[in-house]
Amino acid sequence: MDRPPQDYAVHFIAADGNGSQYQAPSEATLELFKSLYAAVELVADHKLARPMADKPATSRPRLAESWRSETSLANGHGIALGLDGAGAVAVARRPGRYLVVFDRVAGVARARIDAQDGFFFCGHAVFARDGGLLYATETRVEDAAGFIGVYDLRANRHRVAAWPTLGCDPHELLLAGDALVVANGGFRQDDDPEIDPSLVRLDARDGRVLAQVKPPEELSQVSLRHLAIADGRVFVAGQYAGPKSDRPPLVARWDRGGLAFLDLGDRATAGLANYCGTIAASADGTRLCVASPRGGRAAVFDGEGRVLSETALVDCCGVAATADGEFLVTGGRGDLRRTSGGPPVAVAGARWDNHACRL
């Protein structure tokens, strides 16, 4: 085998056969691209494809090269706040392998809870009102069935129950009185393009199913994912899995009258680009805000779907209600912007992710 040249720059510059191992500039260029491609292929095939697989149900996160140090699974998704003023939980992005219990006042982690064997976390959790239990959305790997994992924070933080959500791909959940409201996104972990989204209400004491509702057939491709409660009513924001050219409604209200999708108008609906990344209710419960990282816009509206304002922010997703009844929107580039107006404020070194909440 020929020895590789010791001064690569000289050989690349003089790629004409005279004093170089390359007979022409095109040959040197091809060799360079082959080297670059080999490195990219290695990353794609081994560092990414092996742990991620082709779908969440068959993902193998422990094959990630840094899983022991947790740096390969470091991105969080949702945050749950306890009612004691101090407790909080951050849940890893799905397919999440852990969640972290922390003190939001002291700013220190208290415990880590790993997903049960054969399950992964789906990004969200909520505390029971007394703070003793934690409910988290989970997926069972073998059949992609959705569950609510119930963790006793007073007794070694073990999972003490697993309640079916009557659907696949459960995402956000909220506590509404003595009930848990769960959004089943509906994506099955096979290659079936059809999805089966639903909302389900479970008794927070024993997991008994109290009610379930699904979108009408013409909106069955709206994956129901994020939840908010305003004026005692449940609102859900979805993500459309149908043709990109469609502009279906993405926000619905669930009350005694059933599941009613809201018409936010052509302008606001187009601005959401078929994808709502979050929904939040104002502090007084009179308004809501949805944000779309794909559309780079957030829309504030009332409980009937009347749009009150729109805010532009690149890669916006997190929304938190402020004390004055407005909202603060976060962007993936580190910007913050109030829906009441004013320019974005950049936070040096920050890269805000999916969700935000007011402490």
Cα(first)–Cα(last) distance of the chain, in Å? Answer: 65
**Which CATH fold topology does 215-359 show?**
Neuraminidase (2.120.10)
* Fold: same for 75-191 and 215-359: no
What's the chain's length in residues? 359
The answer to whether 95 touches 52, Cβ cutoff 8 Å, is no
Q: What's the whole-number average pLDDT of the chain? A: 86
Three-state SS at 38: helix
Element (H, E) at 126: strand 119-127
Report the alpha-carbon distance of residue 52 to residue 139 in Å, rounded. 16
Q: Given the DSSP bridges, would you call strands 145-152 and 159-168 parallel, antiparallel or unpaired?
A: antiparallel
> Could you tell me which of 263, 291, 240, 315 has the C-alpha nearest to residue 299?
291
pLDDT, one tens digit for every residue, the chain (359 residues): 344 444 556 665 666 656 566 677 777 676 666 555 555 554 565 456 656 666 666 665 545 544 433 444 457 899 999 988 888 999 998 888 999 999 998 889 999 999 999 999 999 999 999 899 999 999 999 989 999 999 999 878 899 999 999 999 999 999 999 999 999 999 986 455 789 999 999 999 999 999 999 999 999 999 999 999 999 999 999 999 999 999 999 999 999 889 999 999 999 999 999 999 999 999 999 999 999 999 999 999 999 999 999 999 999 999 999 998 899 999 998 999 999 988 999 998 888 888 998 88
Handedness of CA 82, 87, 93, 95 (dihedral sign): negative
Q: What is the CATH number of domain 75-191?
A: 2.130.10.10
> Could you tell me which of 300, 249, 241 has the C-alpha nearest to residue 270?
249
Q: What's the whole-model pTM score?
A: 0.79
The answer to whether 278 touches 354, Cβ cutoff 8 Å, is yes
Q: Is the peptide bond before 95 cis (omega within 30 degrees of 0)?
A: yes
> Could you tell me which of 293, 268, 259, 264 has the C-alpha nearest to residue 278?
293
The answer to whether 170 touches 182, Cβ cutoff 8 Å, is yes
Q: How far is CA 270 from CA 245, 267, 297, 300, 357, in A?
A: 10, 5, 10, 14, 26
Q: What is the pLDDT of residues 278-317, one digit of tens each?
A: 999 999 999 999 999 999 999 999 999 999 999 999 999 9
Report the alpha-carbon distance of residue 147 to residue 105 in Å, rounded. 31
Q: How far is CA 289 from CA 239, 283, 319, in A?
A: 15, 12, 7
Give phi and psi for 219, each to the nearest 5. Answer: -120, 20
> Could you tell me which of 248, 250, 228 has the C-alpha nearest to residue 239?
250
Listed as own residue / partner, the contacts of 80-83 with beta carbons closer than 8 Å and 24 or more positions apart are 80/124, 80/125, 80/126, 80/127, 80/134, 81/127, 81/357, 81/359, 82/127, 82/131, 83/127, 83/129, 83/131
Report the alpha-carbon distance of residue 139 to residue 94 in Å, rounded. 9
Domain boundaries, the chain: 8-52, 75-191, 215-359
